[in-house]
Structure 1
């Protein structure tokens, strides 16, 4: 099977249209279907266009042969911002198709998601009440925005995710996420986390309520359990690096809570679609985006 962007978009369109999108609604069908909208959104981040204005202009030249209709910038933004729940459904549906869905290992972690850069923008942002100030340990800097909490398979396929105020505790948010989506886990699985998820209550929740086992690096002064796990912890860090470096996660450009949710999901969907298609085409590196970024 051919491995390029056109092949990925064609396969993704068929999958979404056949397995995820609900039956056609009564009335005049839209010029751009939901399946086409999500394929267009995936292509936008894979080709590296954070700006919607630049993207729509480029899409007419690069993707005109794949789409019978391409919307204007405002219509595209409205449709995409409203597609957050559908994006989450497609991500879960794709995750269930890859072989590692049945593996016993899941990775969890969180990462900062900055939303604005200036104090004046913070004052007038529509995200007030949702976002807040937090500290990014990896870059030793404060930011204003949200935190992305992510559960993935070993190769980085997103399983479930959420956004939360950075002032909330990591363990509390992850507990709520796993409670909501407990059906995506099964008894006996191993959850690989970092030291930030160390806590008796969180570990008891995973063990007693979900039947899964928490594996994390040992904290300083703690009895030896699992060691440092440095190499294994790099797996989830590599996923975040792909999202931020190649899929422009921090350049989402959204200014509303619904927009941030949809634009974050757009990046996760692009990653999920690439991994899914790499499994289909038997690519050696499942998280590689090289075949789809041009």
Structure 2
């Protein structure tokens, strides 16, 4: 069989996590897909996939081969498009991920604009409040709000968001405004566990980092609930600036201890492809980077 065809079948099976899913994606029969992967493994002399009745998983060799095969297929597609004179026209399916609120507020408007400009692309938007494994879930582009560990992915920094302490005007009128981090020990604290996985908060004082252990009156698993409790006057919470942009603008929440804030959290666009990235990935990353860099909340 043609080597590029075998690579294409293998990549489809990996991304669908099943032979049947890969077959549907390629409009092939499941037996034909199974034969193609078996022929590829026989040709290479290595096992690429571990199979069970429920799913397939890559071996270590299979993961490396998947990454290389994706690049080779992208290069082949780029060569075909260049020969046809349409290499600048994005097309195909693009999967994008971001956290739920950030995706809704900042990424979705860009997706709408992108699809209007490039109607030959089909976008799958995966907005979830967890770290998505881009390789396992077939994600092309991720927007991450975090310091990133070293990886083989390409990361483009587009801005940052502040970690802010806030409370309602009613709460501050009743309990007083804290003037130093130590004052928080006398206040009612609401912890959003996504940003504060333990009872510690970090601050900068005289340019030096300081950690304060707090006893919360309420701990919640999601940011919206923490913001709602703070707006109801229950206490002081810490969230990312974009998560409370609206209540800050309307005066429902006020920032406190801004002079002691921890360093801003960077926002990155992450993608799996290198300089030979496909037109759909390249164009989406470029548009999204330009859009996010102009957002007033990213500072």
TM-score range, shorter chain: under 0.3
TM-score if structure 2 supplies the norm length? Answer: 0.24
Higher helix fraction (1 or 2): 1
Higher strand fraction (1 or 2): 2
TM-score if structure 1 supplies the norm length? Answer: 0.24
Q: Which protein, 1 or 2, shows the higher relative CO under an 8 Å CA cutoff with sep ≥ 6?
A: 1
The structure number with the bigger radius of gyration is 2
